[in-house]
Structure 1
Amino acid sequence: MTPHIVIAGGGVAGLTTALALHAVGFERITVVEAARTLRPAGAGLNLMPGAVRELDALGLLPALESGAALRTRELRYYHRSGALISREPRGLDAGYRWPQLSVHRAHLQRVLAEAVRDRLGSAAVVPGVRVAGVELPGGELTGGGLSGGGLSGGGRPRPRLRLVHRDGGRSGRASMEPDVLIGADGIRSAVRAALHPGETGPVWNGMLVWRGVSRLPAAAVGSFMLIAGDDRQKAVVYPMTRPARPGGEVLVNWALARPAESVPEERLLGDWRRDVDVETFLHHYEGWEFDGVSVPRVLRAAETAQEYPMVDREPLDRWSHGPTTLVGDAAHAMYPIGSNGASQSVVDARALAYALARHPDPARALRAYEAERRPVTTALQRANRRQGPEVVIDLAHRRAPHGFTDVHQVIPADELAAIAGRYAATGAFDPATVNQDSPYGAPYLPVRAPRALPGPVTFV
């Protein structure tokens, strides 16, 4: 019998993992998701060329680019005074074989969810189900997994999930014992908590993040992605769509970061996301304008805004125990720097599916997956704590706090290039590495109506 794989979490990481597993031949895949419907939410994100390569290999790039997505061609860093620090070509313009994409998270999730339903069948996703607990199989924990784990069953130990399903005002309980369990349930992962029961929660660095989406005439936001600020606060602004007609409007993503002012940490970490009025933080960004892009104008055009604490998780010394592992934010939540959150989740999914396809023993497969991915993402987590490539803004402000006319008198050109190069090398997303064909197998050939669907989950 083919193995049953359960994915906890129906976000970008979980849905991409389901598609990657199906692409390499697995058929009994169940995604359990706490939300009652896979309703797209959130603001924008950037997908780096390495992640786009993997989505293209899954046959998803045409659907992504046919709707609300824009090829990012240039990134500009500015000092808050308006002085330009650097401008870097991105995606195809930087010599990559694949574009960098600016996309609304809702559009990305919609493309992923529709592909899962089309390829795996509607029964593959069970919404409204919360993971209430995970019981790991007994036995001695070894360096990379529980001895005796295996894809083929035969009495080998398997994890046990305790699930709670809510249907209107009623709730039911169930349990599952899959052959493989993948925790894709985000920064507050229940699967991670089971693997590391003594671990503390997300780590807050004292910064607040405000995010939102605005709709503006294309001429008001330019054609580039900008990151601007000083050593205290920053702003990120970029368009995510093309205008439907000349002079038309586009969707614009924006994100701001600034230290919290007298806000209790308990409230921040309790209220994970809350709606706020733009006027509560707009005054901090008055006068911020960069080559014709006015940050206050962008903010005033937003219908809603959300406030978050800027948090990550401490890097783990292991992700996998026997036939259980982690992907995406559950494994390596990092600060929103360098466009790596969703991008690394996509690469995780492909690497994990490839490892499981190559090794019949899941413990061995998960060890191989982790050996490849954990060092890279751990290095990125630590680099992002040091501001990653955005450190050029901090350097410029410390060396010339009142602005400058020639950045190379402040930061030499070779120093700017070295900062960008080091970060790309850290995540293995330099052009030479990315431009190779995907290491995770041949491109996906569409197959509809899977031959074997997961068995039903019965709640009582």
Structure 2
Amino acid sequence: MATTHSADVVVVGGGIGGLTAALSLHAAGIEPLVLESAREIRPLGVGINLQPAAVRELAELGLLDELAELGVPAVEHVFADSRGRTLFGEARGTAAGYNWPQFSVHRGELQLMLLDAVVERLGPGAVRTGVRAVDFEETGDGVRVHAADRSTGGSLDFSAGALVAADGIHSTLRALLHPDQGPLRWNGVTMWRGVTETESFAPGNSVVIAADDKNTQFVAYQISGTALERGRTLVNWVCLVPTGEPGALGTGVNWNAPGAIEDLLPHYADWHFDWTDLPELFARSEQILEYPMVDRDPLPFWGRGRVTLLGDAAHPGYPSGANGGTQAIIDARVLAYHLAAGPDVVGALAAYEAERRAATSAIVLANREMDRVGRNRSAAPGGPSGESIEKVTEAYRRAAGEAEKLNTRASLTPPGAVRV
């Protein structure tokens, strides 16, 4: 079969991590090609928080102004009970001493922002949509990627010096590299997620994280700077409800199933906030999404030779620490740095994995602990306490990177890279 295209690096997956990798590789003088299975990249999904570590990297790619227009700077995490009483507050972003803010933003709008930057800087041919990678083989001096053209049903081959799998939690290429990985781990929690436009959000630029003594949790925050300019606010909300026993997740899960408000409301019948009506907030969402809350155990290795993993394909974790997108962006930047600075591709990918695998493994485990404590914060019914939350957030900051560590860290922009 004839090879249809060659590039320095083929990146499988046009999500946040894959597109950031393309921008970072291009800035370092390395030609990337992104293969995305979806026929069209559309602004799907709900809210995401970008920690200062990710905002720093997007700023070095020249995207800070665009990000600030899209998102809302989060200044505090407020941990509360089901009556809205504050148990513990934690400053975030610049309010916590970081040189960069934390932004809450719509995931789909962030993805389109990155896509626009890729097309503008690399050209429209840098992203091939409707192409699903199905296999790969290493050759003497590179990698050949076998793919399916979802529009024609035909087969395509792509050659590159390196292959980066950024194809998410259901990564096809991860499964090829780790055939014995087993099923996803479910913590017994079902998440319902939605986005609702309202007149106001009383907590302002705070992220609200509330829980009751049944381990049911509710999270809400603003995600749109453009909505605020219109005098409105776009609120991302997440409901996390224990619905089963933790364990391996079966293969019959419909990951695109819409959620039903009738399934959600009974779990919040006794909740009362003075700043919002939860049933109304849920009902006014354009759509409700339903997902199991899952992760995987950290891997003993990511890739081999000229093939590696990035983002959720490498280290899927619970959303408890609001860190998934951030870690994918950092992966992308570290990957480009080592490929630009390393003496050879194989050594560069090994150095990238050595730097990122231990760090992300620690965050996956910290996410589990954050989830455990966050949904079980009451010593007894009616007697909530914020002490355990404060302890676990301190431990999480150490795992994810405290302000002084990030502020003094050297740039991940490799020498000779294009500055934008």
SS in 2 for 1:276: coil
Higher deviation after alignment, 178-187 or 218-227: 218-227
2:195 match: secondary structure? strand
SS class of match (2:190):
strand
Shift of 1:238: 0.6
CA distance in 2, matches of 1:196, 1:56: 34
Query: Which residue of structure 2 aligns with residue 105 of structure 1?
Result: 107
| Residues 133/295 of structure 1: CA separation in 2 closer, same or farther (3 Å cut) | same
Residues 238 and 162 (structure 1 numbering): CA distance in 2 closer, same or farther, change over 3 Å? same
Taking structure 1 as reference, are residues 10 and 416 closer, same or farther at Cα in structure 2, changes over 3 Å only? closer
Aligned CA distance change for structure 1 residues 259 and 400 (closer, same or farther; 3 Å)? closer
Distance in 1 between residues matched to 2:225 and 2:149, nearest whole Å: 40
1:13 aligns with 2:17: yes
CA distance in 1, matches of 2:183, 2:321: 23
What letter is aligned with 2:282? Answer: L
Taking structure 1 as reference, are residues 210 and 245 closer, same or farther at Cα in structure 2, changes over 3 Å only?
A: closer
Identify unmatched segments of 5+ residues in structure 1.
138-155, 447-460
- 8 Å CA contact retained: 2:13, 2:168: yes
Is residue 324 of structure 1 aligned with residue 344 of structure 2?
no
- Cα offset for 1:260? 2.2
After TM superposition, list the pairs within 5 Å mapping 1:60-459 onto structure 2: 60-66=63-69, 68-137=70-139, 156-167=140-151, 170-220=152-202, 222-230=204-212, 232-242=215-225, 248-260=231-243, 269-290=252-273, 292-387=275-370, 391-392=373-374, 394=376, 396-397=377-378, 399-403=379-383, 407=385, 411=387, 417-428=390-401, 430-436=402-408, 438-441=410-413, 445-446=419-420
**1:270 Cα deviation (Å)?**
3.0
Residue 293 of structure 1: how far off its partner (Å): 3.6
Distance change in 2, residues 1:365/1:385 (3 Å): same
In 1, the alpha carbon distance for the partners of 2:85 and 2:380 equals 11
Is 1:38 matched up with 2:44?
A: no
**Structure 1 residues 238-287: Cα deviation after superposition (integer angstroms, max 9, x where no partner):** 11124757893211101111122599987775311311222321221134
- Kindly indicate whether residue 51 of structure 2 is the aligned counterpart of residue 48 of structure 1: yes
Q: Where does the alignment leave 5 or more consecutive residues of structure 2 unmatched?
A: 1-5
| Number of equivalences | 412
User: Kindly, what percent of the aligned residue pairs are identical?
Assistant: 39
SS at match of 1:109: helix
SS at match of 1:257: strand
CA distance in 2 between partners of 1:244 and 1:30 (Å): 34
Q: SS of the counterpart of 1:238?
A: strand
Judge conservation of contact 1:166–1:172 (CA < 8 Å) in 2.
yes
Instruction: Rate the CA distance shift 1:392–1:35 in 2: closer, same or farther, 3 A.
Output: closer
Distance 2:161 2:338 in 1: 15
Aligned to 1:457: none
8 Å contact from structure 1 (residues 222, 292) kept in 2: no
Task: Give the 3 Å change call, closer, same or farther, for CA 15–361 of structure 1 in structure 2.
Answer: same
Q: 1:276 to 1:3 in 2, by over 3 A?
A: closer
1:103-129 residue CA offsets vs partner (Å, 9 max, x unmatched): 001110011000000111110101000
8 Å Cα contact 1:222/1:293 also seen in 2: no
Which residue identity is paired with 1:445? R
- Give the whole-Å Cα distance in 2 for the aligned partners of 1:131 and 1:222: 43
Q: Which residue identity lines up with residue 227 of structure 1 in the other structure?
A: I
TM-score calculated relative to the size of structure 1: 0.84
The CA distance in 2 between the partners of 1:62 and 1:417, in whole Å, is: 33
Q: Following the alignment from structure 2 to structure 1, what is the Cα–Cα distance between the partners of residues 215 and 389?
A: 20
Q: Which has the larger radius of gyration?
A: 1
In 2, Cα distance between equivalents of 1:360 and 1:245 = 48
Instruction: Go from structure 1 to structure 2 and tell me whether the alpha carbon gap of 1:278 and 1:192 turns closer, same or farther (over 3 Å shift).
Output: same
The CA distance in 2 between the partners of 1:273 and 1:194, in whole Å, is 24
SS of residue paired to 1:227? strand
Contact kept? 1:83, 1:403, Cα under 8 Å: no
Instruction: Specify whether residues 32 and 243 from structure 1 end up closer, same or farther in structure 2 by C-alpha distance, changes over 3 A only.
Output: closer
- Deviation of 1:297 after TM superposition, in Å, equals 3.1
What letter corresponds to residue 376 of structure 1 in structure 2? A
For 1:304, the aligned partner's letter is: Q
Code of the residue aligned with 2:200 in structure 1: it is A
- Output the CA distance in 2 between the equivalents of 1:124 and 1:382: 35
Change (3 A) 1:63 1:440: same
Relative distance call for 1:181 and 1:92 in structure 2 (3 A) is: same
Counterpart residue identity of residue 258, structure 2: D
How far does residue 303 in structure 1 lie from its aligned partner after superposition? 1.6
**What's the CA shift for 1:444?**
5.0
Residue pair 1:54, 1:438 contacting (<8 A) in 2 also? no
Secondary structure of 2:408 counterpart:
coil
SS of alignment partner, residue 116 of structure 1: helix
Aligned-residue offset at 1:437: 5.2
What secondary structure sits across from 1:171 in the alignment? Answer: coil
**Separation in 2 of the partners of 1:338 and 1:314?**
16
Q: 2:3: which partner in 1? A: none
Q: 1:437 to 1:286 in 2, by over 3 A?
A: same
1:72–1:90: 8 Å Cα contact kept in structure 2? Answer: yes
Amino acid at match of 1:18: A
Whole-Å Cα distance in 2 between the matches of residues 87 and 95 of structure 1?
A: 15
CA pair 438-241 structure 1, distance change in 2 beyond 3 A: farther
